[in-house]
């Protein structure tokens, strides 16, 4: 629904659970990048994504792409608590 162009998509796993990672260009003249991951855990779907302007090439301490990947890598699954 964002009228984007898929740049990259690959199968991934997180703690043994299947998922996909992807990069999408979108917006007027494809001015934005969306970087995301979808993970399926049982009957749940976790969607974690970030988006940024392609023209904003750098932030303090690195690139937006590096920041986006650091954010995505911070997503962790926790073990259910046993009563």
- Kindly give the pairing relationship between strand 32-41 and strand 58-59: unpaired
Closest CA to 54 of 74, 80, 26: 26
- Kindly give the pairing relationship between strand 32-41 and strand 44-53: antiparallel
Cα 65 to Cα 69: distance, rounded to the nearest angstrom = 6
pLDDT given for residue 9 in this prediction: 97
pLDDT given for residue 83 in this prediction: 75
pLDDT, tens digit, 9 for 90 and up, residues 13-70:
999 999 999 999 998 888 888 999 999 999 999 999 998 887 766 665 567 778 888 8
């Amino acid at each position: 629904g964002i009228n984007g162009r898929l740049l990259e998509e690959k199968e991934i796993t997180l703690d043994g659970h299947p998922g996909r990672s992807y990069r999408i260009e979108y917006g007027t003249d494809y001015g934005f990048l969306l970087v995301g991951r979808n993970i399926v855990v049982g009957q749940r779907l976790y969607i974690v994504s970030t988006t940024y302007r392609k023209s904003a090439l750098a932030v303090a301490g690195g690139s937006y792409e590096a920041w986006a990947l650091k954010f995505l890598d911070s997503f962790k699954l926790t073990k259910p608590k046993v009563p």
